[in-house]
Amino acid sequence: MKCIKTKCPFNAHSAGGGRNRSFPSDCLVSDSVKEVAFSKGDFMFSQDQPSCCVYVLTDGVAKIVSVTPDGREQIVGFASPEKLMVGLQSLSNDSYTESAVAETNITACKIRKRSLLSAVTSDAHVALRLIDAMNAQLAMSRAMIRAGEHGSAPAKIAAFLLLLLPTDKHDDRRHVLPVSRSEIANTLGLSEETVCRQMAKMKRCGILYAPRGGIEVYDWAQLNAIANETASASERAA
């Protein structure tokens, strides 16, 4: 099977793989992979649903949601291509501990859990890639927590937006992030009014534009400065 995403953790020729070994397929777990698509708003899976698969996104963004004991929905993260595998926690649970919702139209590689776990026990390359994916998920979770711990509302928002963009795309081009102001507020524990007010200030500074249902970022350097709460950024966003 030809892997359709070179930075997929199970692509035999992505970073760290394929240099010292001849692979019969581009995909290390080709026997258990199926390409699937979801429309915006579709549930990829629901919390407490019996778990059967994990997903590697090849296009689009997924929102990860947890339902609290009192019935509130809490956004705990977002997944995008080359960022996180979706449903990874299911490998050690009989059911999904969170829900995944398509924030945009999505295409993904669907990998059967049982087949992946079997591949891990028989192929060290697969095991190492899975460890890398778990480490990436842990790093993202920690980064999300740190974003929420920034001292000021502008810094929280800026740090969060920076997390949504692939690292190699922090450049001078404009980028559209498919996340709403209400979702930012939910994720960071801020009021929607606070998020709207701070983003209006950033808009006046030429940092971003917030059309309905998305955020268009113009100036990543200023956004990064605000996330780090530098004196100059604080003056610009005041």
pLDDT tens-digit readout, 100-125: 999 999 999 898 888 888 888 888 88
Q: Which residue has the higher pLDDT, 75 or 4?
A: 75
For residues 192 and 185, the answer to whether their CB atoms sit within 8 Å is: yes
pLDDT in tens, 122-179: 888 878 888 888 887 777 777 777 777 767 899 999 988 888 876 555 555 567 788 8
Q: Which residue has the higher pLDDT, 213 or 197?
A: 197
CA–CA gap between residue 202 and residue 110 (Å, rounded): 39
Look up residue 41 and give its DSSP letter.
Answer: T
Tokens 């990860």 sit at which residue? 64
17-26, 90-99, 174-183: which has the highest mean pLDDT? 90-99
pTM over 0.85: no
pLDDT in tens, 162-173: 888 765 555 555
> What pLDDT is attached to residue 13?
53
Report the pLDDT averaged over residues 24-50.
80
- Does the pLDDT at position 12 exceed 60? no
State the average pLDDT for the chain: 79
Q: Which helix H or strand E contains 112, and what residues bound it?
A: strand 106-112
- Three-state SS across 63-76? EEEEECCCCCEEEE
Q: Nearest to residue 161, comparing CAs of 227, 67, 117, 92?
A: 227
> What pLDDT is attached to residue 121?
86
What is the number of alpha carbons within 13 Å of residue 63 lying toward its C-beta? Answer: 24
- The single-letter code of the amino acid at 71 is G
> What pLDDT is attached to residue 19?
38
Q: Which helix H or strand E contains 203, and what residues bound it?
A: helix 192-204
Other C-beta atoms lying within 10 Å of the C-beta of residue 107: 15
Domains and CATH numbers, the chain: 30-126 (2.60.120.10), 148-237 (1.10.10.10)
Look up residue 30 and give its DSSP letter.
Answer: G
For residues 85 and 21, the answer to whether their CB atoms sit within 8 Å is: no
Confidence of residue 29 (pLDDT cuts 50, 70, 90): low
Report the pLDDT averaged over residues 202-224.
86
> What pLDDT is attached to residue 236?
47
Q: Which residue has the higher pLDDT, 203 or 21?
A: 203
Report the pLDDT averaged over residues 6-21.
49
- Beta-bridged to residue 11, according to DSSP, are 27
CB under 8 Å to 175, separation ≥6 — which residues? Answer: 165, 169, 216, 217, 220
Ramachandran bin of 185, using left for φ above 0, alpha for ψ from -120 to 50, beta for the remaining angles: alpha
Residue 152: φ, ψ to 5°: -115, 160
- Does the pLDDT at position 21 exceed 50? no
For residues 75 and 115, the answer to whether their CB atoms sit within 8 Å is: no
